[in-house]
Amino acid sequence: MSGTPINLNKVRKARARAAAKTRAETNVMVHGRSKVQKETDGLESARLRRELDGKALKSTDDVTGQGSKKP
C-alpha cells in the first residue's frame, strides 16, 4: 500500500468529470452545433429579417393596385 492517503471523493469526482467530458464530445458529434454557433445563426437570421422588413412596401392593403372601385 502507498504511504499517502487518497481522497476518494476527489477521485470519484475526477472520474465523473472525465466521463461527462467524453459523453459531451459524443453528443457534439451526434447533435451538431455548439451554443455559440446557434446564437450566431439566430442573430444572423434576426438581422436578415430586419433587413427584409425594411425593404417591404408600406401599403399592404391593396396588392392588385386596382383599389376598391365599383363598376
**Does the pTM of the predicted model rise above 0.95?**
no
Half-sphere exposure of 38 (CA within 13 A, CB side): 6
Q: What string of pLDDT tens digits covers the 71 residues of the chain? A: 567 888 999 999 999 999 999 999 998 888 888 889 889 999 999 999 999 988 888 765 655 655 555 55
Contact (CB, 8 A) for 28 and 34: yes
pLDDT for the residue numbered 8: 93
Listed in sequence order, the residues at least 6 apart from 26 whose beta carbon sits closer than 8 Å to its beta carbon are none
What is the CA angle 40-26-13, rounded to 5? 105
pLDDT for the residue numbered 30: 83
pLDDT for the residue numbered 16: 97
pLDDT for the residue numbered 54: 85
